[in-house]
Amino acid sequence: MNRVLRNGTIDRIAVTLSGLCLVHCVATVVLLGLVSSVASWLGNPLIHEIGLGLATGLGAIALVGGAMNHRSILPTAIGFLGLGFMASALIVPHGGREALLTIIGVSLLAGAHWLNRKAHGPGNQAH
């Protein structure tokens, strides 16, 4: 597990999931305006709850584990701030505020994972 943290595998997976979440949020907003039947499926609260669960789990493993290895708390702090924005999006009504909170949260979380990979050293610089 320690090797997986050091080589950045979990951070790469988490950044990929953050990107997918970002695409999901933007697509939902666009599709809500274009095709309400497809957009309502993408806007299902269960998708958001599962996504937050995955983000929290990967964030805890990668960011906390990374902080323990490289001793930099910044990626973890930024990541948890991002998770806070994502969690707050679950308690507001669907719409513009929810999408904005989620997009801010996902962007912060992806940035935190990028910083976490970078903090592991030269062999794991994020590209």
Q: Do residues 14 and 62 touch, judged by C-beta distance below 8 A? A: yes
Q: Which of 100, 18, 112 is nearest to 67 (CA)?
A: 112
pLDDT of 79 reads: 94
Query: Pick from 111, 115, 127: which is nearest to 66 by CA?
Result: 115
Terminal-residue alpha carbon distance, the chain: 23
**At 2, is the pLDDT very low, low, confident or very high (cuts 50, 70, 90)?**
low
pLDDT in tens, 24-77: 888 877 776 766 666 566 667 788 788 888 888 888 888 998 899 889 999 999
pTM summary value? 0.70
Q: Phi and psi of 43, rounded to 5°?
A: -85, 5
pLDDT band at 5 (very low <50, low <70, confident <90, very high): low
Calculate what percentage of the chain has a pLDDT beyond 70.
Answer: 80
pLDDT, tens digit, for every residue of 29-40? 777 676 666 656
pLDDT of the residue at 18: 87
41, two tokens: 């499926």
For 85-109, what is each residue's pLDDT tens digit?
Answer: 999 988 998 788 988 998 999 999 9
Report H helices in the chain: 2-6, 9-34, 36-42, 45-59, 65-70, 74-89, 96-119
